[in-house]
Structure 1
Amino acid sequence: MEETAIPFKNLHSREYQGHKKKVHSVAWNCTGTKLASGSVDQTARIWLIEPHSHGKIKDIELKGHTDSVDQLCWDPKHSELIATASGDKTVRLWDARSGKCSQQAELSGENINITYRPDGTHVAVGNRDDELTILDVRKFKPIHKRKFNYEVNEIAWDMTGGMFLLTTGNGTVEVLAYPALRPVDTLMAHTAGCYCIAIDPKGRSGSEVSKYFAVGSADSLVSLWDISEMLCVRTFTKLEWPVRTISFNHTGEFIASASEDLFIDISNVQTGRTVHQIPCRAAMNSVEWNPKYNLLAYAGDDKNKYQADEGVFRIFGFDSA
């Protein structure tokens, strides 16, 4: 995929259908070959994505949850293992080859967030009651539980796994040392609630550590933070609605952000300037860049002409040929 002077200019999106209700979450595996989608229809699906193939995409359905699959994430070290978090109070681990659930944990609340530690050893789950549970992946049993007295939105480890970040309804990012979960810093990030967080991937010019993380807020701004200094270096101002979802591309050069605005903004991380906008027909719930290619998966509140949820997601970045 050659990038000309204007990145992404002649690329287009493909649509993928399979779910019966709207898609809440999309996520790529660590090799960038499979995409998972989680839906209000109580299932997740695994899609084998081949950038240069135009044929029918095979997909596998992951069935077993009894409520919406709100978020999912792949094992960062294993391209066939995926974890799902659901409103049915369970967290499940699946084998993406067979579609079978291999592990299940019953937790105390409706789960809305899930993320893996970068070394693949632990999974963190957040629920609607602002409770955080850390699970050991081998035994799939909780090893830490922490209830917070503020609204916790999205959660993330830094790339070293030694720092744990929470975005809050107070407009702050809480920085905790891991594994002690000891408070280290409170970043006054935004004037309204912070909804989403993304960590810049490793790999920029061979460096082994992230340089930045980004935070999306109800104030419609995305802030970019230097991870070593814990200082805000710039803000992205293109969206006019609360920012729901953000993602860095694999090189850390671009960041995608989305909201109820009818476009997804792609900006240059260093300059803060928009390089491309992808039109969309509804509010977006999830955007995620592929870890190897400039392919962006996205899913939102699309309705069909009968005003029913469409259950589709799209991937942007394909050549027009």
Structure 2
Amino acid sequence: MASRQPDRRFIHKDRFGYLFGSLKTQNYQDPAARGPGSHIIRTLAWNPTGQLIATGSANRTLRIWNPERANARYSTELRGHSAGIEKVLFNPVRDAELASCSSDGTVRFWDVRSKTCVSRLDVGGEAFTLSWSADGKVVIVGRKDDTLVPVSIESLSTPTIMTNGATTEKATSTYTTLPSQPQNTQTNATTFSHHVPTESAPDLDFLATTGDGTVKIFSYPSFTLRHTLNAHSSACLALSLAPTARYLAVGGSDALISLWDTTDWVCRRTVSSEGSGTIRDVSWSFDGRFLCGASEEVGASGLEIFHAETGDSVHSIPVTTSGIPAVAWHPTRYWLAYSSMADSGNAGGLRIVGAAGGGL
């Protein structure tokens, strides 16, 4: 699998807890939240430069935040979905293009600059996950009936006549659903490899977690099964490939995160937090050295950050909420975004460690 190199100097693991622990946490409160349970943020995603973060909620709210301005008046709400937002993800090569999928049966593509939906596709069933290829040309949407729906994205350039008579090129895209791919087992989270297709290596690796505790590695676009990882003793629900492509992290309903070496697909270690529950989301720091998992139950140690090479816990973020549905590391900084569930004494919403100034 192709690797991407980090673009900032890293912090040694022995100093990480001290430095990261000194950072403040910024709270972002959505005005659409109206009490416990009404506004659970299910999904988070940074854009490629880390200047924006998108949140999708159970109450259909899709919002784009400026991480440096916590007040909601500086955010943008994108309206259109008629049911809860299940997954949001920015185009890896276009800073302002966002994909979202919902249990309303659609996937939508947005231009966050103009605040418009540029394409709406009916995928034939409740959509709950999606993955974007590294070159931004393919999105695969996962439906709750265990069917995968590829979407081809073709960028076009069309001439536009300016008011002064000059001609410029305006980039547009077409979005086309391809034949669906039913799966014979419960299919959960998915991701593409970091490989960008070339003439000599046109196929991509596409990975999917399953309800039987395995991770299936397919060749795209043929969907030929290349390899199966027997990852967990119960359902695998989350996965994330490190930015360096060295490890694949897999989270399961057994409260464990397993780390798989992508050179030989051997499990090198597992990590877990005391008292935590099902792992719903996993995210890597930009340098591929630290990872964190989101759990529907927060353990006694809080939201825990692990060092990938040793499995050591390097820092715990104290939390008072009953669950953390989603986590997302900043793409170039040691900032960590997470969602918290509303309960008595806690409004819930988006939190970002490091965004309140003095970030690493």
Identify if the C-alpha distance between structure 1 residues 41 and 320 changes in structure 2 by more than 3 Å, giving closer, same or farther.
Answer: same
The superposition leaves residues 31-62 of structure 1 with CA deviations (integer Å, 9 ceiling, x where unpaired) of: 01000000112121011123xx7877710000
Match of 1:71 in 2: 87
Equivalence map 1:4-23=2 (5 Å): 5-7=15-17, 8-18=20-30, 19-20=32-33, 21-23=39-41
* Cα separation, partners in 2 of 1:320 and 1:2, compared to 1, 3 Å: farther
Does residue 278 (structure 1) correspond to residue 300 (structure 2)? The answer is no
The amino acid across from 1:152 in the alignment is T
Secondary structure of the residue aligned to 1:113 is strand
Partner of 1:206: none
Superposed displacement of residue 311, structure 1? 5.6
- 1:115 is paired with a residue whose SS is strand
- Say whether 1:102 aligns with 2:112: no
Rounded Cα–Cα distance in structure 2 between residues aligned with 1:294 and 1:150: 37
Deviations 1:92-141 (Å, cap 9, x if unpaired)? 00011121100010111111101111110011110111110010123311
1:140 aligns with 2:175: yes
- Mapped partners of 2:147, 2:238: distance in 1: 17
| 1:253 to 1:282, Cα distance in 2 relative to 1, 3 A | same
Q: Deviations over 1:225-277 (max 9, x none)?
A: 11121111111122531111110000011001121124211011111000111
Indicate whether 1:254 and 2:290 are aligned: yes
Q: Cα 1:55–1:141, aligned 2, differ >3 Å: closer, same or farther?
A: closer
SS state of the match for residue 240, structure 2? strand
2-structure distance, mates of 1:230, 1:2: 26
Structure number, greater radius of gyration: 2
Tell me the CA shift for residue 313 of structure 1. Answer: 0.9
Report what 1:207 is aligned to: none
The residue identity in structure 1 corresponding to 2:324 is M
1:5 shift after superposition:
2.0
Taking the aligned partners of 1:13 and 1:299, their CA distance within structure 2 comes to 12
Q: Partners in 2 of 1:133 and 1:279 — Cα distance? A: 39
Number of residue equivalences: 309
Amino acid at match of 1:222: I
- For 1:201 and 1:144, locate their aligned partners in 2 and report how far apart those are by CA, in whole Å: 30
Q: Which residue of 2 aligns with 1:235?
A: 270
Q: Counterpart of 2:63?
A: 45
Q: TM-score, normalization: structure 2? A: 0.81
Structure 1 residue runs without a partner (length 5+): 203-209
Give the fraction of aligned pairs with identical amino acids, expressed as a percent.
32
Distance 1:115 1:2, change over 3 A: closer
Shift of 1:317: 2.4
Aligned match of 1:125: 141
Given that 1:150 and 1:169 are in contact with CA atoms closer than 8 Å, whether structure 2 keeps it comes out as yes
Equivalents in 2 of 1:182, 1:294: separation in Å? 37
Preserved CA contact (<8 Å) 1:39 1:311 = no
Unaligned runs of 5+ in 2: 1-8, 34-38, 155-173, 197-203
Aligned to 2:200: none
* Cα separation, 2, equivalents of 1:108 and 1:54: 37
